[in-house]
Chains A and B, each alone.
Chain A
Amino acid sequence: MSTVDQVPVTSTTRELIDQARARQDALARVESLMAQARGTAHDVDGTIEVTVDARGKLHRLWLAPDAVNWGHDRLGPLIVEVSQAAMREATQDSYNKVALLLGEDMTYMIEQMSGMPAPARAQDDDPGMTVEEFQRQRAQRLGEAPPEAPAQASTVDDDDEDAYWESFDPASLRSDR
């Protein structure tokens, strides 16, 4: 648990009331934001994909044609497991939406009140993947040819940049000419 910093209260009562009203208005919108939040997850083999909302309600279930090969005793528990991962995504999605509206401090307070911290704060949270890795996997999923290797692209950029700086005249920045 993190400790709360002691900040001297300097606001007037009027300011406090205005703040409370602003928060009340914002909180009224939180509910509809949270209702819109969705999370999607799939198993490692890509045979099961599940979309749920932040309360866990199932909105979409897709099973690959070969998902039945898991067998009747494995498939059920696997779908349950993927649903739980999807709900963590949905929880994070709802906090992300709320944080945009209320700011980080208020969102943290809601997490404390709800007893459900944002999954991204967890010590063991997956740091995610790099953009390159995501695009590679996406291309693979969509059955596309992999995009040009980024290393190659950046070499071209480097050459262009070098050529630019070689011909660059610093004097061109002077404002008196």
Chain B
Amino acid sequence: MAEFDIDLASARVAEQVERTAREADERFARSGPVVGRAESGDGGVRVEVAPGGLLTGITLSRSALRYGSAALAEQILELAQRATRRAGDRMYHQLAPVLGPDDENLKSLGFEPIPEDDVDAEYYGR
């Protein structure tokens, strides 16, 4: 039976991880931090999220509060979801060249490309 060399195997994994991380770092250094953005039709509600979806910024106009709390909460939730998809799309395009387009990790992290004809696509209808 072939001996399973744990040191060699883990050294290989470590080397692979390090190379991938370095390539990804270089890409992010060029692009700056990845942000997902979405705003309401009138621009009164603007939402920014980090990759993964954590809210990092909400900008409200005075008129955005006009329709009350429930409507505003619903609108922020919807915009946050759109911004999250967009951040995922950007992460996908940053990392797919490094990890390969069908990488399972990308998918499990929710970093998936948005089809061009999707309403959440960043430049939809342009």
Contacts and interface: CB of A to CB of B under 8 A. Distances in A.
Interface of A: 13, 16-17, 20, 31, 52-53, 55-58, 60-68, 71-73, 75-77, 79-80, 83-84, 87
Interface in B39-65: 49-50, 52-62, 64-65
Given A63-B69, A72-B64, A55 B54 contact: yes
Contacts, number: 83
A57 B50 CA distance: 9
What 6 A-B pairs are tightest by C-beta distance, nearest first? Answer: A56-B54, A57-B53, A76-B58, A55-B52, A63-B69, A58-B80
Contact of A58 (B61, B72, B84): B84
Contact of A55 (B53, B68, B72): B53
A40 to B, nearest CB: 14
A16 B56 CA distance: 44
B70 interface: yes
A66 B58 CA distance: 18
Contact of B54 (A64, A65, A72, A87): A87
B119 interface: no
Contacts of A17: 4
A53 B110 CA distance: 12
Interface in B73-126: 73, 76-77, 80-81, 84, 108-110
By size class, the interface of chain B is 20 to 34
B54 A84 contact: yes
A17 B6 CA distance: 9
Contacts of A56: 49-50, 52-55
Nearest to B104: A31
A61 B81 CA distance: 12
A66 B54 CA distance: 24
B26 interface: no
Nearest to A50: B55
B69 A67 contact: yes
B41 to A, nearest CB: 17
B13 to A, nearest CB: 12
A43 to B, nearest CB: 13
Contact of B60 (A53, A64, A75): A75
